[in-house]
Amino acid sequence: MTKKILLSLVLSLFVATGFATDASYDVIPLPQSIVMVKGKSFILNSNTTIFCSSKDDLMQKNAYFLSCYIADLTGLKLKVSDIKPKKGNYIELLLNNKNIKGEEAYTININNKNIKISGFTSAGVFYGIQTLRKSLPICNATNNPIVLPAAEIKDAPRFKYRGMMLDCSRHFFSIDFIKKFIDLIALHNMNTFHWHLNDDQGWRIEIKKYPKLVEIGSVRTGTVMGRNSDVDDSIKYGGYYTQEQCREIVEYARQRHITVIPEIDMPGHMKAVLASYPNLGCTGGPYKVGHNWGVYYDVLCIGNEDTFKFVEGVLDEIIDIFPSRYIHIGGDETPTKRWSECSKCEKIMQKEGLPINKLQAYFTNRIEKYLNSKGRSIIGWDEILDGDINKSATIMSWRGIEPGEKGAKMGHDVIMSPTSHCYFDYAQTKEQYSEPLTQVHALDVEQVYSLDPAPKTMSEESKKHILGVQANLWTEYISNPNLATYMLLPRMAALSEVQWTRPAQKDFKQFKIRATRLSKLYDKYGYIYALHLWQERYKHNRENW
């Protein structure tokens, strides 16, 4: 405990004094163990070499990324070599599956001769690189070498699933911004990008078997103006990603040890699909792509076999593009009104002996069985628990912690994503008079930080089923990249410690100090972010969006 207190004082001193050439290991997320050791410091200068002997493509990418990070932050353009240098100091990247346990675990050993970043896998090495990256000062080091004090850092994440979701249906974002979003995920030690690709207000991915999905379903005739309004702007709005672009994103993420999980939300939130293929709805239409926010009664017709042929055809192309183990099938906010009035749905209920509230479970189980036959598993929003679904389905708990606890008790794997802590479309502050238009609710950084997805009250058996945590950026009111990063930051920093750091290590006051340092990186990369964490009466610059 004494060592931890002394270390905290030392690290706080680094931040407070702001020595331009001193590194600080006071990073976000906070590593499990940082021990300052006796010995001379490592001097990072233009003669330092990055050494990586591994031929693994991701290890080679790790070396490249490290060289880019150092160049961005310090101006030093270091040589990358697969041969250990005979002269000068070096940073070595290596795999070590003997002394390091855990898929994403890593160690960093720093002395005057070298810095060794070791990982059980290339992903572990990547997270060690992120820690080193965030330890560096932002300065011109071409004439002023950077001092890294001798230390031993040991680290591994608390949860194996650490995700962020971006809704690209309500508002469409460019491929360039998707890459920036993935860069933010990497910066915060997250490993999953959940890509919400369809909703009532727009279909966003090319499906070659069903071309009308992008010809018709990707464009709405207008977008609602204001909050809870029925008036739209009558301006056509749309966009979609080609399959080639999606593969580009998958590869971009893979190189950064991030898995892309696509979401095709069904059987509700399907107005864009029904506008494209009206025969898939209970009434037969006509339908149009949604322009208001909220929940629509029109959903896929479960009594129509063409519905299942369509879904399977879409999923065939989705799984060809996305190699992820999981496919997210949505399942949230699905009204039964149209089913209750549909003769086809009535027939299937009679045939299968189903009450109407089990019809969605029938749909979910059929789709899960199909995906399982293709070697994939499903994730669904917690409403899918309302039916009799297979235990192999993973639950994403958004309506609070309780549905997740229920799912874990039933034997389902669970990803916690409660609105109370993880909905980043909520305002950054209760003082919304000077904020951009958002959802009416507020969610500040401290509230995000307070989340414990596996609290002490949960049984040990249930805790085994908590895979991790995810936050979601729904984009009804978020129409451009600057506003998106404003809503994300610095809440992503708080989320990263929920996902990575052990509860006993969490301390919001210390986090706030470390967030100050991280904000310098946000500035360096030009991210627009909220300042309420540091300025209670902060007013954003409306010119940013």
Locus of tokens 């229920």? 406
Token digits of residue 306: 């063409």
- Please tell me the pTM assigned to this model: 0.95
**Percent of the chain that is helix, strand, coil (3-state, to 5):** 40, 20, 45
Q: For 443, left (φ over 0), alpha (ψ -120 to 50), or beta?
A: beta
Q: Which residues of the chain have pLDDT under 70?
A: 1-20, 536-545
Q: Is 126 helix (H, G, I), strand (E, B) or coil?
A: helix
Q: What is the pLDDT of residue 4?
A: 44
Q: Where does CATH 3.30.379.10 sit in the chain? A: 21-155
Query: What's the pLDDT tens digit per position in 483-510?
Result: 999 999 999 999 999 999 999 999 999 9
Q: What is the pLDDT of residue 269?
A: 99
Token digits of residue 210: 């069903």
Q: How many CB atoms lie within 10 A of CB 455?
A: 12
- What is d(CA 267, CA 381) in angstroms, rounded to the nearest whole number? 12
190 — phi, psi (to 5°)? -95, 160
Q: Where does CATH 3.20.20.80 sit in the chain? A: 161-540
Specify the fold of 21-155.
Answer: Chitobiase; domain 2 (3.30.379)
Measuring CA to CA, which residue among 83, 93, 100 is closest to residue 117?
A: 93
Token digits of residue 495: 């989320």
- What is d(CA 312, CA 445) in angstroms, rounded to the nearest whole number? 41
- What is d(CA 467, CA 521) in angstroms, rounded to the nearest whole number? 29
What residue type is 434 in one-letter code? S
Query: What's the pLDDT tens digit per position in 332-346?
Result: 999 999 999 999 999
Q: What is the pLDDT of residue 544?
A: 64
Q: What is the pLDDT of residue 11?
A: 42
Estimate to the nearest angstrom the gap between the alpha carbon of 506 and the chain centroid.
21
Q: Is 244 a catalytic residue?
A: no
Q: What is the pLDDT of residue 10?
A: 43
- Reported as type and span, the H/E element at residue 195 is strand 192-196
Give Cβ neighbours of residue 140 (< 8 Å, ≥ 6 apart).
74, 75
Q: Which of 152, 312, 317, 333 is catalytic?
A: 333
Sequence-ordered alpha helix ranges (H) in 136-263: 175-187, 212-215, 243-255
Q: What is the pLDDT of residue 229?
A: 83
Query: What's the pLDDT tens digit per position in 114-173?
Result: 999 999 999 999 999 999 999 999 999 888 899 999 999 999 999 999 999 999 999 999
Integer angstrom CA distances of residue 220 from 232, 234, 294: 11, 9, 15
Q: What is the pLDDT of residue 499?
A: 99
Q: What is the pLDDT of residue 386?
A: 87
Q: How far apart are the first and last CA of the chain?
A: 47
- What is d(CA 124, CA 106) in angstroms, rounded to the nearest whole number? 5
What class is the 161-540 domain?
A: alpha beta
Token digits of residue 84: 């250990």
